[in-house]
């Protein structure tokens, strides 16, 4: 299965994608707007604005409102996909939180509250990035004390459970570090399916899953389908079977509500193509038919006229170690007309970039098709895009659709701007940049160069190149996501330093490209390590990708001293001495990674990722953590959604939609749990 990922889901902070820089102020922006809302553990909650929403027509606002509701109705699906006990745990902890009348000033209560906030943020008990189960910082005894005040009727006790069995079950899950410790296990020496705690498989081994989907592929007349994308694989009486996500199938109650709001959205669609797109999506949700999903994707790609747009469905496969099964997500957005001029230039020149790529000519597209790019304003985040969100998207994932019909690339402008406002005075740049020249260059060009990196990564990087006949994405197995993200990053990095970008006025000068090179190498070799526990290696695909690239070019460039490791005042810095040679190295690695993907070379993918992308330098890791502790910065950020309230006329039709910006993370999470808890505790 091809999964051209929401490539920058975790990139916003690690690439400092919204660095300090110039950005035009929205005419609607309130100078008193509070961006930071909450801070706990290593996380921070921000708000984002939705500029120019008031300039949409009433019909467009209504469409946004209906799509927003559809985006919120899938929340329970993601919790359950991430781990089969998540809904039970969330309901239990929320019940304690809302019913507890005891001392809320104690350290134990504060730790309980933090733990619940982390579960909301990660959509379950496993870290959203590392996928490790996080441990409570309150005692098992305190937890049982909290439960003692809750009646049976308020707890999600199953029919076949006693209270004692329920308490024993949930305390074991939360407090035993060996129980379901890893949501996604990518260790190639283990059974990556059986050892992963996600809820995509039940009592099924990696070998059994591989055999099941190999047989599906061989028997199917349509070899292009994304086999396994929207289902759970289980074993009943020794027979492996699929439970498909659809109305009447798994997650039916939530999907029925999603369809309800999509049907409402269809009545106010901007044009026939958008109406057709929604119709195919509805049919897909009704039937679970992957051919309908492809029809939806084709119609969605072809709809370039609509100002309001959305993503809704089972899209990305990060949560499945085998890279088949997709998590549920949604975003709702509308086009930023002024900023889209930048991405239009890129998409209009897609063929030039493809033709001049340093990859082997047999892996190039002879003719790029349907490459469309735009900059969008996010109006709502849902599922696997909330609270943590991408800053860029390139869809659909299916390689044959991309080849025949093209793809859509989008940059989330208002999300980037919110990051910029929240991080503008963080101090990280001063701490890790080697000299004032780097700092000044980043301050001057960091914002625009990082945005261009995102545009090139999404619009052209993921859409470039071809695979050889009979090569499937799952040939690379657990290394596919890392290889694909590295491929898109390298495409962007290679062209950042091309005179073509200045000729097209995408950058004012190649000095701006140097700002992105500086940032990428710093991050890949050092700063991203702040996010992982000391002593652990890299497991998340984006982190592996970034270290793979940075470490490979550092090692290969040593004979020419392309990148120099310098120690000053007991602090480590990586300094680029030759930007042109570094670009050449990026091109050489891109050539090899494209070959690996095009040929489905699993052995080469494994060697490259394991040798360069996994192992962490312990000494550097210790230093990075120590330096970040002094800065007191969060490792991750996520967002609150705005709220939309329809205004009805005398005939009960919507005559306006009002937008407000809530300022309580806890209130929004509890509100969502109250209004959008659509699934039973166990599915």
DSSP secondary structure, 516-544, as one string: HHHHHHHHHHTGGGGGS-TT----SHHHH
Question: Nearest Cα to 641, choosing from 7, 54, 51, 68?
Answer: 68
**What's the Cα-to-Cα distance from 279 to each of 94, 258, 274, 484, rounded to whole Å?**
36, 13, 9, 31
Give pLDDT, residue 477: 87
Give pLDDT, residue 368: 87
- Work out whether the CA dihedral 397, 6, 460, 468 comes out positive or negative: negative
Output the CA angle 249-193-536, nearest 5 degrees.
130
Distance of alpha carbon 413 from alpha carbon 531, whole angstroms: 25
Residue pair 539/181 in contact (Cβ under 8 Å)? The answer is no
Give pLDDT, residue 33: 87
Give the DSSP H or E segment for 44: strand 43-47
What are the structure tokens assigned to 645, written together?
Answer: 């309230």
Residue pair 327/78 in contact (Cβ under 8 Å)? The answer is yes
φ and ψ of 446, to 5 deg: -60, -40
Give the DSSP H or E segment for 287: helix 272-287
The whole-model pTM stands at: 0.85
Distance of alpha carbon 641 from alpha carbon 489, whole angstroms: 29
Residue pair 320/198 in contact (Cβ under 8 Å)? The answer is yes
Give the DSSP H or E segment for 392: strand 392-395
Residue pair 330/312 in contact (Cβ under 8 Å)? The answer is yes
CB atoms within 10 A of CB 515: 26
Distance of alpha carbon 683 from alpha carbon 679, whole angstroms: 8
**What's the Cα-to-Cα distance from 296 to each of 125, 249, 292, rounded to whole Å?**
33, 20, 6
Give pLDDT, residue 30: 54
Residue pair 113/43 in contact (Cβ under 8 Å)? The answer is no
Strands 201-202 and 231-236, by their bridges, are: parallel
Distance of alpha carbon 388 from alpha carbon 128, whole angstroms: 8
Residue pair 444/407 in contact (Cβ under 8 Å)? The answer is no
What are the structure tokens assigned to 631, written together?
Answer: 């800065």
Give pLDDT, residue 658: 98
Give pLDDT, residue 28: 43
Give pLDDT, residue 39: 95
Give pLDDT, residue 149: 87
Residue pair 1/324 in contact (Cβ under 8 Å)? The answer is yes
Q: Identify how many contiguous H helices and E strands the chain contains and give both numbers.
A: 25, 15
φ and ψ of 509, to 5 deg: -165, 155
φ and ψ of 563, to 5 deg: -120, 130
Question: Nearest Cα to 258, choosing from 383, 114, 91?
Answer: 383
Task: For the chain, state the CA radius of gyration.
Answer: 24
Distance of alpha carbon 617 from alpha carbon 536, whole angstroms: 10
DSSP SS3 for 55:
helix
Residue pair 655/268 in contact (Cβ under 8 Å)? The answer is no
**What's the Cα-to-Cα distance from 76 to each of 91, 283, 380, 565, 680, rounded to whole Å?**
11, 21, 16, 47, 9
Distance of alpha carbon 560 from alpha carbon 326, whole angstroms: 43
Distance of alpha carbon 414 from alpha carbon 425, whole angstroms: 19
Q: Peptide bond before 396: cis, by omega within 30 degrees of 0?
A: yes
What are the structure tokens assigned to 133, written together?
Answer: 């189960």
Output the CA angle 612-617-623, nearest 5 degrees.
140
Give pLDDT, residue 6: 32
Residue pair 403/369 in contact (Cβ under 8 Å)? The answer is yes
Q: Peptide bond before 619: cis, by omega within 30 degrees of 0?
A: no
pLDDT tens figures, 393-425: 889 999 899 889 988 888 898 998 888 787 767
Give the DSSP H or E segment for 407: strand 407-412
C-alpha dihedral (365, 366, 372, 373), degrees to nearest 10:
60
DSSP SS3 for 637:
strand
Strands 231-236 and 571-576, by their bridges, are: unpaired
What are the structure tokens assigned to 132, written together?
Answer: 């490790």
Distance of alpha carbon 62 from alpha carbon 81, whole angstroms: 30
φ and ψ of 356, to 5 deg: -100, 10
C-alpha dihedral (165, 167, 169, 173), degrees to nearest 10:
-170
Distance of alpha carbon 285 from alpha carbon 303, whole angstroms: 20
Residues of the chain with pLDDT below 70 are 1-31, 370, 424
pLDDT tens figures, 221-250: 999 999 999 999 999 999 999 999 999 999
φ and ψ of 314, to 5 deg: -90, 105
Distance of alpha carbon 231 from alpha carbon 321, whole angstroms: 15
Give pLDDT, residue 23: 40
Residue 333's beta-bridge partner residues? 309, 378
Residue 312's beta-bridge partner residues? 330
């Amino acid at each position: 299965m091809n999964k051209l990922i929401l490539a920058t889901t975790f990139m916003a902070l690690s690439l400092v994608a919204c660095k300090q820089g110039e950005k035009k102020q929205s005419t609607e922006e309130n100078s008193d707007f509070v961006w930071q809302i909450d801070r706990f553990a290593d996380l921070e909650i921000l708000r984002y604005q939705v500029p120019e929403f008031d300039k949409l027509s009433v019909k467009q606002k209504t469409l946004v409102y209906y799509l927003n509701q559809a985006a919120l109705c899938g929340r329970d699906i993601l919790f359950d996909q991430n781990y089969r006990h998540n809904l039970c745990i969330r309901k239990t902890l929320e019940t304690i939180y809302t019913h507890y009348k005891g001392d809320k000033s104690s350290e134990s209560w504060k730790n309980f509250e933090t733990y619940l906030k982390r579960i909301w943020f990660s959509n379950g008990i496993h870290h959203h990035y590392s996928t490790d189960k996080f441990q409570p910082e309150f005692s098992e005894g305190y937890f049982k004390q909290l439960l003692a005040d809750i009646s049976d009727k308020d707890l999600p006790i199953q029919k076949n459970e006693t209270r004692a069995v329920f308490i024993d079950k949930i305390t074991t899950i939360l407090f035993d570090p060996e129980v379901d410790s890893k949501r996604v296990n990518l260790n190639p020496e283990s059974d990556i399916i059986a050892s992963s705690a996600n809820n995509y498989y039940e009592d099924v081994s990696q070998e059994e899953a591989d055999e099941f989907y190999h047989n599906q592929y061989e028997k199917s007349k349509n070899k292009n389908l994304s086999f396994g994308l929207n289902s759970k694989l289980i074993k009943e009486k020794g027979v492996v079977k699929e439970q498909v996500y659809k109305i009447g199938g798994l997650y039916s109650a939530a999907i029925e509500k999603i369809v309800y709001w999509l049907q409402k959205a269809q009545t106010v669609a901007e044009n026939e193509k958008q109406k057709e797109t929604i119709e195919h999506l509805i049919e897909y949700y009704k039937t679970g038919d992957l051919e309908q999903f492809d029809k939806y994707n084709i119609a969605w790609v072809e709809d370039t006229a609509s100002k309001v747009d959305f993503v809704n469905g089972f899209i990305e496969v990060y949560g499945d170690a085998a890279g088949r099964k997709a998590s549920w997500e949604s975003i709702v957005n509308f086009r930023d007309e002024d900023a889209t001029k930048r991405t239009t230039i890129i998409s209009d020149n897609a063929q030039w970039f493809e033709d001049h790529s340093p990859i082997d000519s047999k892996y190039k597209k002879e003719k790029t098709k349907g490459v469309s790019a735009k900059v969008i304003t996010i109006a709502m985040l849902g599922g696997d895009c909330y609270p943590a969100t991408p800053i860029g998207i390139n869809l659909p994932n299916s390689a044959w659709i991309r080849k025949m019909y093209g793809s859509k690339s989008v940059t989330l402008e208002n999300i980037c701007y919110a990051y910029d406002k929240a991080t503008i005075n963080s101090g990280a740049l001063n701490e890790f940049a080697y000299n004032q020249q780097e700092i000044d260059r980043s301050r001057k060009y960091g914002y625009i160069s990082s945005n261009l990196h995102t545009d090139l990564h999404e619009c052209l990087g993921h859409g470039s190149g071809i695979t050889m006949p009979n090569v499937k994405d799952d040939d690379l197995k657990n290394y596919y996501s890392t290889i694909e993200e590295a491929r898109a990053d390298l495409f962007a990095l290679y062209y950042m330093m091309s005179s073509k970008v200045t000729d097209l006025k995408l950058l004012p000068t190649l000095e701006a490209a140097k700002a992105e090179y500086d940032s990428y190498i710093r991050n890949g070799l050092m700063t991203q390590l702040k996010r992982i526990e000391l002593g652990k290696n890299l497991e998340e695909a984006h982190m592996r990708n970034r270290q793979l690239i940075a470490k490979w070019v550092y090692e290969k460039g040593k004979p020419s001293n392309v990148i120099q490791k310098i120690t000053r005042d007991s602090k480590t810095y990586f300094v680029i001495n030759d930007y042109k040679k570094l670009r050449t190295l990026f091109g050489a690695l891109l050539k090899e990674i494209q070959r690996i993907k095009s040929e489905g070379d699993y052995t080469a993918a494994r060697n490259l990722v394991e040798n360069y992308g996994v192992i962490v330098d312990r000494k550097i890791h210790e230093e990075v953590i120590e330096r970040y502790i002094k800065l007191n910065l969060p490792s991750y950020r996520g967002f609150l959604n705005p709220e939309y309230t329809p205004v009805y006329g005398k005939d009960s039709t919507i005559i306006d939609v009002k937008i407000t910006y809530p300022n309580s993370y806890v209130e929004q999470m509890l509100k969502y749990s109250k209004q959008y808890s659509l699934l039973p505790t166990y599915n």
